[in-house]
Amino acid sequence: MRKHIIACYLGVLLISCFPLWVFAAEILLDSYQGGLSPKWEKKSFKGETLYKVTQEGTLRCIKATSHSSASGLSYKINYDTKKYPILTWRWKVNHVLSNGNALKKEGDDYAARIYVVFPSILFWKTKAINYIWANKLPR
């Protein structure tokens, strides 16, 4: 009986030490079955980037081919950040931009980037985070 109680306490202790986000549910934006979902919207700033769904091993992904263009894809989704606190993705860049420099405004050019925007009714309270694939950043 005593061993059973100790085992229960250890189990509760281990579970309570585990962060809650480990048990968080998951939202999959797109499985890319049958191509790009119509929920993805193309945004073009300069030139056109070709986007297509392709297979990389066992993963289906978006391949972007760009030649001196600036464009992107956007996907709008409303969700509870407390319920889904983690954002994960994978990316692969075949050609790094030699002139990209995240420390200078004129070097604000990257092979890949992800913006996550948290809008607010009051525009000045809108928050955003920008993840970049950069080749020149201090350590």
Q: What is the pLDDT of residue 122?
A: 95
More confident residue, 37 or 105: 37
Q: What is the pLDDT of residue 8?
A: 40
- Predicted confidence (pLDDT) per residue in 119-135, tens digit: 899 999 999 988 888 77
Paired residues of 127 in beta bridges: 118
Helix, strand, coil percentages, rounded to 5, for the chain: 20, 30, 50
C-alpha torsion sign, points 58, 75, 127, 136: positive
- Whether residue 102 contacts residue 137, with contact meaning beta carbons closer than 8 Å, is answered with yes
Q: Which of 11-15, 18-22, 72-76 has the lowest mean pLDDT?
A: 11-15
Neighbours of 134 (CB within 10 A): 19
Phi then psi for residue 72, to 5 deg, are -165, 180
- What contacts 59, CB < 8 A, 6 or more positions away? 90
- Whether residue 42 contacts residue 51, with contact meaning beta carbons closer than 8 Å, is answered with yes
- Predicted confidence (pLDDT) per residue in 23-73, tens digit: 557 888 888 888 888 888 988 888 888 888 988 888 888 888 888 888 888
